[in-house]
Amino acid sequence: MRVLTILFALGLTLSAQLKELKPGFNLFSPQQDIQLGKEAAVEVEKSMPVVKNEELTAYLSRIGGRLAKSKHAGTFPFSFTAINDKSINAFALPGGPIFVHTGLISALDNESQLAGVLAHEMSHVALRHGTNQATKANLLQLGAALASSGLGGDSMLSKLGQIGVGLGAQSVLLKYSRNAETEADLNGARIMNEVGYNPVQMAQFFQKLEAEGQKDNSKLANFLSDHPTPGNRVAYVEDQNRYLPKTQYSEIDSGALPRIKNIVASLPPPPPPKAAARPAGN
């Protein structure tokens, strides 16, 4: 009887420790997240050197597909694309498109760390952090911009561009708050645990990048400013792990990463970035 009471009390404490994670206030509908992400992905693919290598694409999709089965990943249509860029970065667009720089792939120690990066980015999508931030930053103008997008043939991206919500550096769609970072870590860890990846690998990889960024920021500047460190990631991910269902951790194909790194290392250098269109004359 006493044991039951203790177990019951323990059960209550355990469930109390798992913070509920759900999308915040948002003027976009989930369908508008998807539309915006689609339009923005077209722009990314026009302006950045997308890697067209079947084995690499299949590798990203296989790991991303396993993660997408988790209920914590939500129902957005995810896609996974590599970009030929030696800087260490990964980013997600609203509604599902996820991009990973080849520099990040070169920095991985194992498949679980890649799963961690993808699960973290998928969590920004599932928790709708980009459009939540755009909502908070542009509350007054946003309703009208959204209501009129699609009218007169204007894309959502161009309507949002008129009120200053774009894809450039410092975009509210890609630059997350520390609070959003913690949520993406915790939700990403739940995704990983549910499908059988060790969540601590994600936190360890991010901490490794943060430590490297302190020594030499040159390859990591964008990543660290878009995903600001929310503190000791390993500590709070390990802490949450104690309350997650126990699962057996495994990788799909541990031996594949060295091959994938070779593919990445042998890619020709990307063409110089396209110069931004400038108005003629002075």
Does 146 engage in binding with Zn ion (CB under 5 A)?
A: no
Shortest distance (Å) from residue 129 CB to Zn ion = 8
Rounded CA gap, 177 and 181, in Å? 6
Shortest distance (Å) from residue 188 CB to Zn ion = 9
10 Å CB burial of residue 140 (0-12, 13-18, 19+) is: exposed
Nearer to Zn ion, 181 or 194 (CB): 181
What is the amino acid identity at position 134? A
Closest CB to Zn ion: residue number: 227
DSSP state of 78: -
Are the beta carbons of 124 and 134 closer than 8 angstroms? no
- Tell me if residue 207 falls in helix, strand or coil: helix
Of 175-204, binders to Zn ion (CB under 5 A) are 176, 181, 184
Of 66-125, binders to Zn ion (CB under 5 A) are none
Nearer to Zn ion, 124 or 159 (CB): 124
Rounded CA gap, 70 and 67, in Å? 6
Shortest distance (Å) from residue 180 CB to Zn ion = 7
Of 204-263, binders to Zn ion (CB under 5 A) are 227
In sequence order, the 6+-apart residues with CB closer than 8 A to the CB of 145 are 138, 159, 160, 162, 163
Stretch that binds Zn ion, among 5-13, 100-108, 160-168, 173-181 (CB under 5 A): 173-181
Shortest distance (Å) from residue 203 CB to Zn ion = 12
Shortest distance (Å) from residue 269 CB to Zn ion = 28
Rounded CA gap, 186 and 197, in Å? 14
Nearer to Zn ion, 111 or 181 (CB): 181
Binding site for Zn ion (CB under 5 A): 176, 181, 184, 227
